């Protein structure tokens, strides 16, 4: 019996769910396979394809291009309308859904009256960084959630309001980050930057450390070759799949005591410190599809372990 099979049997009796080489992998919980269909960061909103109801003009006002349901007076649905510009948003609107359009620019004029906005979904459009008017989002002091994934952004958007809690920027072309771009994001709990062009120098200033309430950080499918430095101690979920990370520094996770899930499949991991994953709150560990050759310590509290497609052999 090989070493990996022994590990599987041993941890079966400890109650740890272990995914070994040659076993079926639960792709529905990861971002690795068929990314365009599977990749769904947390807080995903359901697309509104066809409402199947006649137009209804809400008494408080609604953009003529959109639909404002009577039962949800603070929401305005403008998705899948082939819009090229953002319509004017009435003052009472708190959620506006503009995904799956052909919008290329974001101007202040559209939001001039929308002082109560809490959520904006501009995903799946054609927005470029230079077409976002400076300060357009920063003026929205009540904004909590901003969707900008699946656009053509080349730069991390800046400035952003301090109220922001969830920021989704996956599937863009972000390769630039201003030094102070993340300043003030003190309430951010979820940041999705998967499927961009991030590299190590962009994160060397430890900009992420300024987000003291950050719980989920998605950096999968970028160009990272080393572990991101200076992560906040509040972090609970870290996604680093599909990069080129080859090592993990000793004591790297000492500053992340709350870490629950670590996903590092499809990297270049080879030799890692034996006790690197000795974390009291770690529940899920995914290091499949790497080049690991040596066994490492597996904490008893772990519930999901993914080891498939490594080079671990019996000693």
Tell me which residue range forms the domain holding 123.
Answer: 31-278+286-295
Asked if residue 308 belongs to a domain, the reply is no
Neighbours of 295 (CB within 10 A): 16
CATH code at 247? 3.80.10.10
Whole-number CA gyration radius for the chain: 22
Q: Is 78 exposed, middle or buried (0-12, 13-18, 19+ CB in 10 A)?
A: buried
CA distance linking residue 244 with residue 232, whole number of Å? 22
Asked if residue 13 belongs to a domain, the reply is no
Measure the CA dihedral 307/309/314/315, to 10°.
-90
Asked if residue 310 belongs to a domain, the reply is no
CA distance linking residue 54 with residue 250, whole number of Å? 62
Beta pairing class for 145-147 and 284-286: unpaired
- Predicted local confidence at residue 71, as pLDDT: 93
How far, CA to CA in Å, does 171 sit from each of 47, 151, 220? Answer: 17, 7, 10
Asked if residue 314 belongs to a domain, the reply is no
Q: How far is CA 94 from the centre of its chain?
A: 23
Asked if residue 17 belongs to a domain, the reply is no
HEC-encoded secondary structure of 168-182 = ECCCCCCCECCCCCC
Asked if residue 121 belongs to a domain, the reply is yes
Q: Collect all residues with Cβ–Cβ distance below 8 Å to 45 and sequence separation of at least 6.
A: 97, 99, 121, 147
3-state secondary structure of 226: coil
70: which 2 tokens?
């009577």
Asked if residue 301 belongs to a domain, the reply is no
| Residues in the chain with pLDDT values less than 70 | 1-59, 314-315
Whole-prediction pTM value? 0.84
252: which 2 tokens?
């790297």
Beta strand ranges found along 78-161 (DSSP E): 95-97, 119-121, 145-147
- Predicted local confidence at residue 313, as pLDDT: 81
Asked if residue 265 belongs to a domain, the reply is yes
Q: How many distinct structural domains can be found in the chain?
A: 1
- Predicted local confidence at residue 40, as pLDDT: 56
């Amino acid at each position: 019996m090989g070493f990996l099979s022994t590990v599987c049997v041993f941890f079966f009796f400890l109650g740890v769910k272990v995914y070994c080489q040659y076993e079926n992998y639960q792709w529905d919980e990861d971002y690795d396979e068929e990314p365009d269909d599977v990749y769904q960061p947390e807080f995903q909103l359901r697309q509104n394809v066809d409402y199947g109801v006649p137009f209804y003009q809400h008494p408080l006002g609604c953009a003529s291009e959109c639909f404002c349901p009577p039962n949800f007076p603070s929401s305005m649905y403008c998705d899948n309308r082939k819009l090229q510009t953002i319509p004017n948003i009435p003052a009472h609107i708190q959620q506006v859904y503009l995904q799956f359009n052909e919008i290329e620019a974001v101007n202040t004029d559209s939001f001039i009256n929308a002082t109560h906005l809490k959520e904006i979904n501009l995903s799946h459009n054609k927005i470029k960084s230079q077409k976002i008017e400076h300060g357009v989002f920063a003026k929205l002091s009540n904004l909590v959630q901003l969707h900008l994934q699946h656009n053509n952004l080349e730069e991390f958007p800046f400035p952003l309001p301090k109220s922001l809690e969830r920021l989704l920027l996956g599937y863009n072309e972000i390769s630039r980050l201003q030094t102070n771009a993340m300043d003030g994001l003190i309430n951010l709990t979820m940041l999705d930057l998967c499927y961009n062009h991030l590299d190590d120098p962009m994160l060397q200033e430890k900009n992420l450390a300024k987000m003291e309430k950050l719980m989920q950080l998605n950096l999968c499918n970028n160009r990272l070759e080393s572990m991101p430095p200076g992560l906040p101690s509040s972090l609970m979920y870290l996604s680093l799949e599909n990069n080129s990370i080859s090592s993990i520094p000793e004591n790297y996770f000492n500053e992340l005591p709350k870490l629950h899930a670590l996903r590092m499949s499809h990297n270049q991991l080879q030799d890692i410190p034996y006790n690197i994953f000795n974390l009291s709150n770690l529940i899920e560990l995914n290091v499949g599809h790497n080049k690991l050759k040596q066994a490492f310590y597996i904490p008893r509290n772990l519930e999901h372990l993914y080891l498939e497609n490594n080079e671990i052999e019996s000693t």
